[in-house]
A and B are shown apart, each in its own frame.
Chain A
Amino acid sequence: MELDSLYQEVILEHYKRPQNKGLLPNQTVQVHHVNTSCGDEITLNLKMINGTIAEISWDGVGCSISQASTSVVSELLKGKDSAAALSIIESFQAMLQSKGSDLGDESVLEDGVAFAGVAKFPARVKCALLGWMATKDAISQSLALTSNVKKEQR
């Protein structure tokens, strides 16, 4: 049935056992994002080491889609450099905004492709994007930090 296309086994797995949940200290950047339409909130810590994502940890409250999706992104982007991470986030976003025509590339998005079905439920797209947009924001902020440091060093 339709409900299963939205709530893939992978999503419910991540929801029940979220990865990297619980904020870790010594982050490079902390961001806080809210889904204004439903009140879901997450706080996300990003730790960058030499331009590479060392850690993404997070905490928050929300529906299974937003929680599972944040769990997926926090695992998937670990060890990626910022350019690669941003490009993966872009593919995920494109998939969700495709209204179901873009099923996602599993070699790029891994567990993220489980959210392809969400694209058919417009009201839930924001839920799936919450953690990803927070991560994108955190990466941009950390890039801004490093470029400021470089400017100061000059």
Chain B
Amino acid sequence: MKRLIRGNNRLVYLDSGATSQKPISVLNAEREFYTQHNAAAHRGAHQLAEEATEIFEAARGKVAAFIGAKVDEVVFTKSATESINLVAYSFGNADLGTKFHIKAGDRIVVSEMEHHANLIPWQELAKRTGAELVWLSVTDDGRLDLSNAERIINAKTKVVALTHQSNVLGTINPINEIAKHVRNVGALFVLDACQSVPHYAVDVNKLDVDFIAFSGHKMLGPTGVGVLWGKQELLDEMPPFLTGGSMIETVTMESATYLPAPKRFEAGVPNMAQAVGLGAAVDYLNRIGMEKIHQHEVELTKACIERLSQIPQLKIVGPTDMELRGGVVSFTLDGIHPHDLGQALDQYGIAVRTGHHCAWPLMKKYRVVATTRASLYLYNDLADVEALVTGVERARDYFLGR
């Protein structure tokens, strides 16, 4: 974080919504795993294999405690994207008559503010099964439109897949309010928690959902590890997605039976070092405290919205009040394409995301091609916010002043 960018500029990293920077303790945990305990977990009769298993499972325990889950409800995947695909494919593989089976005439509900990772797996599942894909709209001020929720989440609905917090708008969705509709019709509720778990305390006992997916690399952990949490009784009944070693109970040449969760969903030698790194990231976050991190981000986001709003040509895309809102601020600047703005900011050492943010339908909804997005995290401060505001003003003068 201290390195200089594009000459002599201090790095102002405002792209944690895409991926976070990593503390040394996370890198050390991975390094120590590889240098001291590297072996294939859950196999082998030697000491290293024993240690690898123990450390890997300890990481699972840390992640489980972090979200208030039982240890066996935490499945390690390679990414949140894989977590969601796991659920979608597992449902697609389910036998007729089970509660996961999806067929023509059933309904899958998503929303217009989904990241592609929580949209395309459901589009594909709908295509494979003949089910209908329906979505909740967003309002002009960047909230989910729940006025017709009862009509959208109807008796035919088998799955509702929503994001906890929009990666573009910063909106936090009222999950438990929506859950009432989901429970009324007996559907399964899948939550994309990529933008929430890293930033504030998420307790699966307080959220009335069935599955949550999140990624390690957005919460100070390494890339290559994601998490799927699911209710034990559901996970244990679901058919597998990826199959192979580690996930079987017994195997003959003709067929196999499968272990219960989480192992049922972790075929192959697992991503041990990455999971261990994520465990260290959880330790780091816990040491600081999620409540403190959240308060810090609320303060920065508030300042960021206030200061950016003072630039006359700038328009914030998403809620401008702090009610149910996270530290992601998207905006457009009249007369300057986000790519050009992002390029100029980069030249001043400020890293932001520009583009459609893997949410193409949302861009179309707000009739913008793309936005510029600043996303905040625990290591940002008010000086970063000021640098952004000054950078945007400089860029504006550069492009519009000539």
Residues of B bordering A, CB below 8 Å: 6-7, 337-340, 343-344, 347, 354-356, 360, 363, 369-370, 398-399, 402
Would B339 and A124 count as touching, CB distance under 8 A? yes
Chain A, residues 39-68, CB within 8 Å of chain B (1/0): the string is 111000000000000000000011111000
> For chain A, which range describes its interface: under 10, 10 to 19, 20 to 34, or 35 or more residues?
20 to 34
Q: In the complex the two chains form, is B370's CB within 8 Å of A38's CB?
A: yes
Given the interface pairs A1-B347, A38-B356, A124-B343, the reply to whether A62 lies near B337 with Cβ below 8 Å is yes
Are the C-beta atoms of B369 and A3 separated by less than 8 Å?
Answer: no
Interface status of A2 (Cβ within 8 A of chain B)? yes
Return chain B residues, CB-CB under 8 Å to A38: 339, 354-356, 369-370
Question: A33 → chain B, closest Cβ, in Å?
Answer: 14
Are A2 and B6 in contact, CB atoms less than 8 angstroms apart?
yes
- A86 located at the interface, meaning its Cβ lies under 8 Å from any Cβ of chain B in the complex: no
Known: A38-B356, A38-B370, A61-B369. A127 touches B339 (CB 8 A): yes
Q: Which residues of A contact B347 (CB under 8 A)?
A: 1-3
Which residues of chain A are near B354, meaning CB under 8 Å? 38
The answer for the CA separation of A63 and B354 in the assembled complex, in Å, is: 11
Structural contact, B343 and A12, CB atoms closer than 8 A: no
Shortest Cβ distance from residue B214 to the other chain A in the assembled complex, whole angstroms: 24
Query: A3-B398, A38-B370, A127-B339 provided; 7 other pairs, C-beta below 8 A?
Result: A3-B347, A6-B343, A7-B398, A12-B402, A38-B356, A65-B339, A124-B343
Interface CB pairs A-B, < 8 A, 8: A2-B6, A12-B399, A38-B354, A39-B356, A39-B360, A39-B363, A64-B399, A127-B339
Whole-angstrom distance from the CB of B242 to the nearest CB of chain A?
27
8 A Cβ contacts from A99-130 to B: 121, 124, 127
Answer whether residue A37 sits at the interface, using C-beta atoms and an 8 A cutoff.
Answer: yes
- Closest Cβ of chain B: how far from A7's Cβ, in Å? 8
Smallest Cβ-Cβ distance to A13: which chain B residue: B402
- A3 to B355, Cβ gap below 8 A? no
The answer to whether B339 and A63 touch across the interface, beta carbons within 8 angstroms, is: yes
Minimum CB–CB distance from A124 to chain B (whole Å) comes to 7
Residues of B within 8 A of A39 (CB): 355-356, 360, 363, 369-370
Shortest A129–chain B CB gap in Å is: 14
Q: Which residues of A contact B339 (CB under 8 A)?
A: 38, 40, 62-63, 65, 124, 127
Residues of A participating in the B interface, judged by any CB pair closer than 8 Å: 1-3, 6-7, 9, 12, 37-41, 61-65, 121, 124, 127
Which 4 interchain pairs have the tightest Cβ spacing? A63-B339, A63-B337, A39-B356, A38-B355
A3 touches B343 (CB 8 A): yes
Q: Name the A residues within 8 Å of B369 (CB-CB).
A: 38-41, 61-62
* Shortest CB distance A69–B (Å): 13
Chain A residues contacting B344 (CB-CB under 8 Å) are: 3
Write the nearest CB–CB distance from A100 to chain B, whole angstroms. Answer: 15
Q: For B337, B354, B402, which residue has the most chain A Cβ atoms within 10 angstroms? A: B337
Structural contact, A121 and B343, CB atoms closer than 8 A: yes
CB closest residue in chain B, given A40: B369
Closest A residue by C-beta to B7: A2
Distance A41 CA – B369 CA, assembled complex (angstroms): 9
List the A side residues contacting B7 at CB < 8 Å: 2
| Distance of A118 Cα from B370 Cα, bound (Å) | 20
Pair B6/A63 contact, Cβ less than 8 Å: no
Report the Cα distance A1→B346, complex, angstroms: 13
Inter-chain contacts of A64 with B (CB < 8 A) = 337, 340, 399
CA distance A38 to B354 in the complex (A): 8
**A62: chain B residues within 8 A (beta carbon):** 337, 339, 369
Give the chain A neighbours of B6 by CB distance below 8 A.
2
Question: Please, which residues of chain A bring their CB within 8 A of the CB of B399?
Answer: 7, 12, 64
A60, chain B: closest CB distance, angstroms: 10
Alpha-carbon gap, A9 to B363, bound state (A)? 30
Other-chain contact of B355, A2, A37, A124 (Cβ < 8 Å): A37
Q: Which residue of A lies closest to B355 (CB)?
A: A38
